[in-house]
Chains A and B, each alone.
Chain A
Amino acid sequence: MALLEVRDVVMRFGGVTAVGGVSFSVEERQICGLIGPNGAGKTTLFNIISGIYRPSEGSVTFAGTNTTALPRHAMAPLGLGRTFQNLALFRSMSVRENVLAGAHSAGHAGFFANALRLPAARREEAVAARRADELLALLALRDVADIAVSDLPFGTQKRVEMARALISQPKLLLLDEPAGGLNHGEVDELARLLEEVRASFDLSILLVEHHMSLVMRVSDKVVALDFGKKIADGTPHEVRTSPEVIRAYLGDGHDAHAA
């Protein structure tokens, strides 16, 4: 069975249908690109998968559990990690604290164990600290580890979000436009990073991105949305050459072959 199974999902906001009956799946250790013009419903679909929205219709199955109606905080412990399109960091906390906060779902020590610094709490803390150090190194954040995140440039904050999502060792990582605001060299680096992450963390990635060359380079498969409907689903090559996709992008002033 697939790791993530989205089935006939519909999301309506008042009169607006943001997602109009979308189905697709992501296999284990797969990188799946999710593309579509602005307003296609990509972020809305992310919010449904990660439990922030409850869909008007349809269902989501993740890691063998029907998660459609689970509370929001129940998704991370199942192995779902995500980043946000417009950044959702803990502003006043340092980079390291942000990353450590991501380890919350991997820990168990509660109020009592922490106040008394019981051995269980200390062990957990040591494990989290070690993992945080590894991720800070991997994402080139070591030099800024003790700086408040709000003082950092956008691109660096995006990397903090990625580290924060990775520290809990998710099975599926949802990335909402990780290349936003990056230049060409940095996008190249990001592509290498995503491949490295998939290999060493043994996870799947669902990637929303407008940067076509990046999506086509790293994805095993691509799903294309337009106006809340799925218009293509297949290998990068199949999707890139699909007439529906080309029409959707040309109609929107984009070029699927650009970059």
Chain B
Amino acid sequence: MKPLLIAAGLALALLPIWALESFHLFQLTLAVIMALAVLGLNIVTGYNGQISLGHGAFFAVGAYATAIPMSLLDWSFWATLPVSAIVCGVVGWGVGFPALRLGGLYLALTTFALAVAVPQILKHKAVEAWTGGVQGLFLLKPEAPAWLALSPDQYMYLVALLVAGLCYLLTANLLRGRIGRAMMAVRDNPTAAEAMGMDLASLKTRTFAVSAIITGMAGSLSAAVVEFVAPDSFTFILSISLFVGMVVGGVGSILGSVFGGLFVLFVPNLAEAISRSAPGVIYGAILILFLFILPDGVAGLVRRFTTKKRIIPGRETS
């Protein structure tokens, strides 16, 4: 049953390479990237309970960590990925430290401030030579090897799928083992978690780092796919969109992050298609509809259909 399901999922994921025309394939590539970014946020907020309203900042750091070496130093895309992972990991870990002292809503606002600050930092004169200032940086997407016989858009979809798939796999491994349980334990009951020998400070800062790496990988992919980075692509709106995607898809759910990515990309387009004059209103209406119909996110709906009815045997009789 399980290998069959995996094969079917893989076929479904690869099908668009041939089934969709260029523009739609490009859109789907961006959705895959958003799904990866939402996954990153879900690790720290959904699984570990540290609210971040600023994950767009890590997305931006990842994007520039790929764009700068590709654009200015002619690096290959693949060579930038480990660099991006390290940079994002260090930045995420650094943000994790003040986060230790700031609980709940205060952390949410502090990370939000980070998201607001990042575009302006990228424009600043001191780093302009590297970031290209307001104009941003142009780069060329990696070319498909000749033997693959794929168009650039087809190839980039495959690349995004590969990187995102790998990140999803590693994250799923992490979350279902000792460390994933500790992340959730810390979220559910910090006092008991410490009594089990869990070091809150170390767990939380490392979780922040991993989360930033995953969202940063999405940023790296986006730089290569769009072939352009500029500060105004990474405003706080991006951070809020990722947060919305996480909630709509399912907080603390890996599968939910996939749906979240689809929501982040396609619902604004849908709203635009329905009403050109007031897409914001349509977007809001769709969002509220989702939250009403699916209070546990899309993942909650899937769970309702796939898990057997839960019975509670052995209720104490006295």
Chain A: residues with CB nearer than 8 A to chain B? 50-52, 71-77, 82, 84, 88-93, 97, 100-105, 107, 109-111, 114-117, 121, 124-125, 128, 140, 143-144, 147, 151-156, 164, 168, 183, 186
Contacts and interface: CB of A to CB of B under 8 A. Distances in A.
A91 B181 CA distance: 12
Residues of A contacting B: mostly: helix
B196 A102 contact: yes
Interface string B252-295: 10000000000000000000000000000000000000000000
B210 interface: yes
B33 to A, nearest CB: 20
B192 interface: yes
Interface in B295-312: 310, 312
Most buried by A among B173, B178, B195, B315: B195
Interface in B185-212: 185, 188-189, 191-200, 206, 210
Nearest to B308: A146
A90 B200 contact: no
Interface string B160-194: 00000000001101100111111011001101111
Chain B, interface size category, equals 20 to 34
13 contacts: A71-B199, A73-B200, A77-B197, A88-B189, A90-B193, A92-B252, A93-B184, A103-B178, A109-B177, A115-B173, A117-B173, A153-B316, A168-B196
A77 B182 CA distance: 15
Contacts of A77: 197
Contacts of A72: 194-195
A89 B196 CA distance: 11
A186 B314 CA distance: 13
B99 to A, nearest CB: 17
Interface in B16-62: none
B192 A155 contact: no
A128 B179 CA distance: 13
Contacts of B170: 115-116
A101 B196 CA distance: 7
Contacts of B174: 111, 114-115
B178 A121 contact: yes
Contact of A90 (B173, B179, B180, B184): B184
Given A72-B195, A111-B206, A100 B314 contact: no
B196 A147 contact: no
B196 A114 contact: no
